[in-house]
C-alpha cells in the first residue's frame, strides 16, 4: 500500500469488513496499545479531526496509571498542561478538589486505578473520530519496503484482525512493534562511549529496571482479618529493612520510616493503599522483554508471588490484618493489577538520542534539541535496581533541571509510517529513568498523536512534518513545549513566551530541586540589550553585539533594535501595542514577558524553520 493510498483514508469513514472470517479495518492512524501514552495519542489525534483507532489487549485504558495500578503520579505537579492537566482536573472533580487526592506522601496526586480508567474511557468516548477496540493482542506488523502499513492482532478466541493504517504508533509497554518491524533499538544500559554520560557505566549491558506487580489494599475495619494464605516460600527476612518495625540484619541499609508511614506512602482515597514500595518491598527483577507473550505471562508469576509475600508480611509480621486486597478495583481473578508496572523496555534508535547531558545542559551541550521540545517533565532520574545484585547500585546521577523531550526521539531511524510513544522513545537508559514517569509519558503520547494527525492532514511523511507545526498544535492544545514553572498555561503571554523560549533567543534558568526540578523564565524580570542581541544573532546575522551597551531594555530601545531587523515597523502601532501591555511610557524599562511578546509579534522568529536537531534552516516559511 503506497503513501497516497494510505493517506487517502482520511476521505473515508472508518469501515470494517470480513474477508475469510478475518476482520479488516482501514484507518488513517492506528495506535497499538491503550496505555498512558497510547490513550493520550488517540484522544489528541481524534480531536484533531483524524480517524483514529486504539487497539488494546486488556479491558482498561490508561496503562500504568490504571491497569498497572501506579495511581500516584510522579512529577509535573507545577507543570500541569495539556492532557495531563485535563486528566488531573477530572480527578479533582471526582474527589472534590486538589486536597481530595493529596492523600499519600509520595505524590500530590493519588487516586483509585478504576477511577483513572473511567476518566480515560469517558475522554475517549467524548472524542469524535476515535474508536477503541479491547481484547486484541498485537502479533505482527505489516511493512512495504521501509514503511509500516499496519498490524495484525489476535483475540482470546483465536480470531485475527488486520488494521491497515497510514500512520502507526507503537504505544506498547515494551516496544513490541519496534522489534516486530526489525528496527534498531537499545535494551539495557549503554556505555559512556555511546552516550557521553558520566554515570559510571563503562560497558553496555542488558540490565533493565526492576518491575512491580502492584496491589491495592483496602482497610476493611479494625475487626476484619483479611490475612491471605501463607504464600509458598514465604520468609519474612525477604522484607528486612522495609520499615523500622522489622529491621533485623543491621548490615542492611537502615530504614527511615515505620510501617504506618511506609503504607501512607501510597495512601489512596477511600481507605486504600497502593503497594509499590521500592525498599525491600515488592519490586522484582525480571527481564522478559524479548520473550513471547506466553513466556512473559509465565515469568510474571514470580513478580505476582513477590507481591503476595509482601502482602502477607504486612498482614502477619506487621499486624495489619485489617488490610486486604481491594475487591472493587481490578477485574482480575487474583485482585492484583491487570498488568505489571514496566519501568523499561526497548528504546528505539531514533532520529535523535536524548541523553542526560542534553537534559542537564540544554542550552550549551550538543545540538539545540530543546528547540524541538514536545513534552515536559520535572522528575529526577529515578532507577529501580534494588532486586538485581548484578546492577550498578551507585549510579552517580548529576543534578538535572526540568526538561523537554525532543520531537526526534519519537521518530525511528530508517522507517516511515511509525511513531513511538510510551517508554520506547529514543532516550538513553539513564534518561529513561525520568521520561518514563506518568505525566511525561502522557504528554509525550499527546505529542505522538499530534505528529500522526498532522502527517495525515498535511499528506506528508512523518519526517517531513515541520517541527514548528507540531509544537504550534500542542501550544494550541494548552500543552507546554518549554518547562517554565513560572509561566503557567493561563499566563497572558504563555504562548509568546513558549515560542520565544523554543527559539533560544531568550533562555531560562534550570535549577535541580529535590523531587520537582525547575526551569525559570523570570517573566517579570528585566534584561539588557546586550543579552537580547546575543540571543538574536543566530537568527539575524545583521544584528551585532559589538559596542552594545548593557542597558536595560526599554520600549524605545527595543523598537530601534526591531527596526534594524524588520524595517518599516510602524511606530504608532508599536506604541499602541505597548499601551496594551500596560507600558505607558516608551522610555521605561520593560519586562521579559513583554519583550517575548513583542519579539514574536513583530519578528515571528518561532516561525523560522528548524530541523529535527533544532538547527535553524535557511528557508523561512511563516506558519498559518
Domains for the chain: give ranges and CATH numbers: 3-192+344-476 (3.50.50.60), 211-325 (no CATH), 526-607 (no CATH)
Mean pLDDT of the chain: 94
Distance (Å, whole) CA 511 – CA 490:
23
pLDDT at 532 over 60: yes
**Where residue 445 falls among pLDDT bands split at 50, 70, 90?**
very high
Distance (Å, whole) CA 323 – CA 311:
9
501 CA to centre of own chain: 20
H or E segment and range at residue 565? helix 555-565
Q: Is 15 exposed, middle or buried (0-12, 13-18, 19+ CB in 10 A)?
A: exposed
Chain position carrying cell 536537531: 613
Mean of the pLDDT values across residues 22-44?
97
pLDDT at 407 over 90: yes
**Three-class SS of 482-547:** CCCCCCCCCCCCHHHHHHHHHHCCCCCEEECCCCCCEEECCCCCCCEHHHHHHHHCCCCCCCCCCC
User: What is the Rg, in whole angstroms, of the alpha carbon atoms belonging to the chain?
Assistant: 26
Distance (Å, whole) CA 215 – CA 305:
11
Neighbours of 294 (CB within 10 A): 8
pLDDT in tens, 567-584: 999 999 999 999 999 999
pLDDT value of position 548: 73
- Spatial CB neighbours of 118, under 8 Å, sequence gap ≥ 6: none
pLDDT value of position 542: 83
pLDDT above 90 coverage of the chain, percent: 92
Lowest mean pLDDT among 246-250, 355-359, 547-551: 547-551
Distance (Å, whole) CA 303 – CA 297:
10
- CA-closest candidate to residue 336, choices 269, 281, 423, 274: 274
Are the C-beta atoms of 528 and 492 separated by less than 8 Å? no
pLDDT in tens, 97-150: 999 999 999 999 999 999 999 999 999 999 999 999 999 999 999 999 999 999
Distance (Å, whole) CA 32 – CA 168:
7
Please list the residues that pair with 18 across neighbouring strands: 23
Distance (Å, whole) CA 214 – CA 306:
10
- Spatial CB neighbours of 403, under 8 Å, sequence gap ≥ 6: 359, 362, 376, 377, 378, 434, 483, 510, 517, 519
The alpha-helical segments, DSSP class H, found in 300-423 are: 301-312, 356-360
pLDDT at 624 over 70: no
- CA-closest candidate to residue 168, choices 348, 406, 361, 300: 348
What's the DSSP call for residue 614?
S
Distance (Å, whole) CA 563 – CA 554:
14
H or E segment and range at residue 334? none
Are the C-beta atoms of 323 and 219 separated by less than 8 Å? yes
pLDDT at 332 over 50: yes
Cα torsion 237, 239, 242, 245 to 10°: value is: -50
Distance (Å, whole) CA 400 – CA 415:
32
Distance (Å, whole) CA 152 – CA 165:
11
What's the DSSP call for residue 350?
B
The values of phi and psi at residue 72, to 5°, are: -135, 105
pLDDT value of position 87: 98
- Spatial CB neighbours of 289, under 8 Å, sequence gap ≥ 6: 174, 175, 187, 208, 345, 346
489 CA to centre of own chain: 18
| Positive or negative: CA dihedral 495, 499, 505, 511 | positive
Chain position carrying cell 529496571: 209
| Positive or negative: CA dihedral 433, 437, 439, 442 | positive
Is the pTM of the predicted complex or chain greater than 0.85?
Answer: yes
pLDDT at 594 over 90: yes
pLDDT in tens, 256-267: 999 999 999 999
Between β-strands 347-348 and 160-170, what pairing exists: parallel, antiparallel or unpaired? Answer: unpaired
**Where residue 547 falls among pLDDT bands split at 50, 70, 90?**
low
Cα distances from 210 to residues 188, 247, 254, in angstroms, run: 12, 23, 21
Between β-strands 211-212 and 130-134, what pairing exists: parallel, antiparallel or unpaired? Answer: unpaired
**Where residue 549 falls among pLDDT bands split at 50, 70, 90?**
confident
Cα distances from 575 to residues 457, 555, 594, in angstroms, run: 39, 8, 13
- CA-closest candidate to residue 412, choices 346, 457, 472: 346
pLDDT value of position 455: 98
CA neighbours within 13 Å on the CB side: how many for 414? 9
pLDDT at 4 over 70: no
Between β-strands 283-284 and 323-325, what pairing exists: parallel, antiparallel or unpaired? Answer: unpaired
pLDDT at 15 over 70: no
Lowest mean pLDDT among 18-27, 184-193, 367-376: 18-27
Are the C-beta atoms of 164 and 149 separated by less than 8 Å? yes
**Where residue 21 falls among pLDDT bands split at 50, 70, 90?**
low
Distance (Å, whole) CA 92 – CA 501:
30
The DSSP string of 77-90 is: TT---HHHHHHHHH
Distance (Å, whole) CA 303 – CA 377:
29
DSSP 3-state of 143: strand
Amino acid at each position: 500500500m503506497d503513501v497516497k493510498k494510505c493517506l487517502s483514508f482520511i476521505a473515508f469513514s472508518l469501515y470494517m469488513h470480513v474477508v475469510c472470517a478475518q476482520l479488516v479495518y482501514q484507518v488513517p492512524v492506528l495506535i497499538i496499545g491503550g496505555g498512558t501514552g497510547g490513550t493520550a495519542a488517540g484522544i489528541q489525534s481524534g480531536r484533531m479531526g483524524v480517524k483514529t483507532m486504539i487497539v488494546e489487549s486488556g479491558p482498561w485504558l490508561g496503562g500504568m496509571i490504571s491497569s498497572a495500578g501506579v495511581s500516584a503520579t510522579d512529577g509535573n505537579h507545577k507543570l500541569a498542561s495539556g492532557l495531563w492537566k485535563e486528566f488531573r482536573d477530572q480527578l479533582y472533580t471526582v474527589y472534590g478538589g486538589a486536597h481530595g487526592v493529596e492523600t499519600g506522601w509520595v505524590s500530590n496526586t493519588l487516586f483509585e486505578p478504576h477511577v483513572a480508567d473511567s476518566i480515560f474511557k469517558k475522554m475517549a468516548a467524548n472524542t469524535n473520530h476515535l474508536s477503541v477496540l479491547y481484547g486484541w493482542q498485537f502479533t505482527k506488523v505489516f511493512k512495504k519496503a521501509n514503511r509500516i502499513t499496519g498490524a495484525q492482532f489476535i483475540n482470546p478466541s483465536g480470531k485475527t484482525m488486520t488494521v491497515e493504517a497510514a500512520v502507526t504508533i507503537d504505544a506498547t509497554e515494551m516496544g513490541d512493534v519496534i522489534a516486530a518491524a526489525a528496527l534498531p533499538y537499545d535494551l539495557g544500559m549503554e556505555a559512556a562511549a555511546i552516550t557521553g554520560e558520566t554515570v559510571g557505566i563503562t560497558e553496555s549491558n542488558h540490565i533493565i529496571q526492576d518491575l512491580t506487580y502492584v496491589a491495592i489494599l483496602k482497610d476493611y475495619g479494625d475487626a476484619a482479618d483479611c490475612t491471605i494464605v501463607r504464600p509458598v516460600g514465604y520468609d519474612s527476612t525477604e522484607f528486612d529493612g522495609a520499615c523500622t518495625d522489622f529491621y533485623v540484619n543491621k548490615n542492611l541499609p537502615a530504614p527511615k520510616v515505620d510501617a504506618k508511614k511506609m503504607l501512607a506512602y501510597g495512601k489512596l482515597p477511600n481507605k486504600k493503599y497502593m503497594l509499590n514500595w521500592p525498599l525491600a518491598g515488592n519490586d522484582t527483577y525480571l527481564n522478559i522483554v524479548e520473550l513471547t507473550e506466553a513466556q512473559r505471562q509465565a515469568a510474571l508469576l514470580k513478580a505476582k508471588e513477590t507481591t503476595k509475600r509482601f502482602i502477607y508480611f504486612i498482614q502477619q509480621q506487621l499486624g495489619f490484618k485489617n488490610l486486604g486486597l481491594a475487591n472493587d478495583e481490578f477485574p482480575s481473578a487474583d485482585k492484583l493489577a491487570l498488568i505489571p508496572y514496566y519501568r523499561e523496555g526497548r528504546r528505539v534508535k531514533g532520529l535523535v538520542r536524548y541523553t542526560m547531558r542534553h537534559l542537564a545542559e540544554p542550552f550549551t551541550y550538543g545540538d539545540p534539541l530543546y528547540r524541538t521540545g514536545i513534552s515536559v517533565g520535572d522528575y529526577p532520574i529515578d532507577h529501580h535496581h534494588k532486586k538485581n545484585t548484578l546492577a550498578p547500585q551507585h549510579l552517580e546521577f548529576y543534578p538535572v533541571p526540568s526538561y523537554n523531550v525532543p520531537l526526534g526521539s519519537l521518530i525511528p531511524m530508517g522507517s516511515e509510517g511509525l511513531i513511538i510513544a510510551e517508554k520506547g522513545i529514543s532516550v538513553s537508559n539513564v534518561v529513561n529513568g525520568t521520561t518514563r514517569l506518568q505525566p511525561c509519558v502522557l504528554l509525550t503520547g499527546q505529542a505522538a498523536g499530534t505528529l500522526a494527525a498532522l502527517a495525515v492532514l498535511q499528506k506528508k511523511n512523518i519526517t517531513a512534518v515541520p517541527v514548528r507545526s507540531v509544537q504550534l498544535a500542542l501550544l494550541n492544545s494548552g500543552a507546554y513545549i518549554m518547562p517554565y514553572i513560572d509561566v503557567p498555561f493561563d499566563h497572558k503571554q504563555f504562548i509568546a513566551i513558549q515560542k520565544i523560549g523554543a527559539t533560544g533567543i531568550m533562555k531560562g534558568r534550570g535549577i535541580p530541586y529535590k523531587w520537582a526540578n525547575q526551569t525559570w523564565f523570570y517573566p517579570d524580570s528585566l534584561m539588557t540589550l546586550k543579552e537580547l542581541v546575543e540571543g538574536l544573532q543566530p537568527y539575524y546575522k545583521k544584528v551585532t553585539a559589538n559596542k552594545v551597551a548593557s542597558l536595560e531594555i526599554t520600549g524605545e530601545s527595543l523598537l530601534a533594535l526591531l527596526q534594524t531587523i524588520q524595517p518599516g515597523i510602524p511606530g504608532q502601532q508599536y506604541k499602541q501595542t505597548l499601551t496594551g501591555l500596560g507600558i505607558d511610557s516608551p522610555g521605561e524599562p520593560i519586562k521579559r514577558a513583554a519583550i517575548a511578546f513583542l519579539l514574536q509579534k513583530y519578528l515571528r522568529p518561532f516561525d523560522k524553520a528548524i530541523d529535527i536537531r533544532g538547527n535553524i534552516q535557511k528557508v523561512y516559511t511563516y506558519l498559518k
